[in-house]
Amino acid sequence: MSTPNISTLIDISHTITVYVGITIFVVGIIGGLLNVIVFLGLRTFRENSCAFYLIIMSFINIGNLMTGLLSRILISGFQLDWTIISPFYCKFRWYGLQFCVLTSFTCTSLAAIDQYISTSVRRQLRQWSNIKTAHRLTIIFIIIWLLHGILYLIYFDLIQSPTTGSVVCDTNNIIFRQYHMYGHIIILQCVLPLTVTSVFGLLARHNVKKLAHQTIPIVQRCLDKQLTIMVLNQLFYNFIFTLPYTILTILTLFLTNVKDPAIIRMLDFANVMTILLYYLSFACPFYIYISASERFRQQLIYVLFDIYLKRWRRPEIATNQIAPFPQENP
Is 4 inside a domain boundary? no
Q: Which DSSP state fits 323?
A: P
Between these two residues, 61 and 221, which has the higher pLDDT value?
Answer: 61
Expressed in percent and rounded to 5, the helix, strand and coil fractions of the chain are 80, 0, 20
pLDDT at 3: 54
**Neighbour tally for 118: CB within 10 Å:** 24
Number of helices (H), then strands (E), in the chain: 16, 2
Rounded to whole angstroms, the Cα distance separating 51 from 134 reads: 10
For 163, 202, 307, the CA distances from 168, given in Å and listed in that order, are 11, 42, 50
Per-residue pLDDT tens digits for 98-154: 999 999 999 999 999 999 898 887 888 888 888 999 999 999 999 999 999 999 999
Pairing label, strands 157-160, 167-170: antiparallel
pLDDT at 1: 52
Is 2 inside a domain boundary? no
Is 321 inside a domain boundary? no
**What is the CB-side half-sphere exposure of residue 283 using CA atoms within 13 A?**
23
With left for phi above 0 and alpha for psi between -120 and 50, is residue 258 left, alpha or beta? beta
Q: Which DSSP state fits 211?
A: G
Task: Tell me the sheet residues that pair with 136.
Answer: none
Is 103 inside a domain boundary? yes
Rounded to whole angstroms, the Cα distance separating 44 from 66 reads: 29
Is 325 inside a domain boundary? no
- Average pLDDT score, the chain: 83
Is 75 inside a domain boundary? yes
Angle at 15 between CA 62 and CA 248, to 5 degrees: 70
End-to-end CA distance of the chain: 104
Nearest to 116 by CA among 237, 236, 228, 229: 228
Q: Which DSSP state fits 179?
A: I
Rounded to whole angstroms, the Cα distance separating 316 from 313 reads: 8
Q: How many residues does the chain have?
A: 330
Q: Which amino acid is at 321?
A: Q
Local structure of 305: helix, strand or coil:
helix
Rounded to whole angstroms, the Cα distance separating 117 from 125 reads: 6
Rounded to whole angstroms, the Cα distance separating 233 from 240 reads: 11
Per-residue pLDDT tens digits for 148-205: 999 999 998 888 776 666 788 888 888 998 898 889 988 998 889 888 988 998 888 8
> Domain count of the chain?
1
pLDDT at 165: 66
Element (H, E) at 22: helix 3-41
Is 329 inside a domain boundary? no
Q: Looking at residue 139, which CATH number applies to its domain?
A: 1.20.1070.10
Report residue 130 CA to chain centroid gap.
23
Rounded to whole angstroms, the Cα distance separating 196 from 219 reads: 28
Is 117 inside a domain boundary? yes
Per-residue pLDDT tens digits for 285-324: 999 999 999 999 999 999 988 887 777 765 554 444 444 4
Rounded to whole angstroms, the Cα distance separating 260 from 2 reads: 11
Per-residue pLDDT tens digits for 245-298: 888 888 887 776 666 677 777 888 888 889 999 999 999 999 999 999 999 999
Domain of 224 in residue numbering reads as 10-300
Local structure of 161: helix, strand or coil:
coil
Contact 230, 287 (CB under 8 A): no
pLDDT at 330: 35
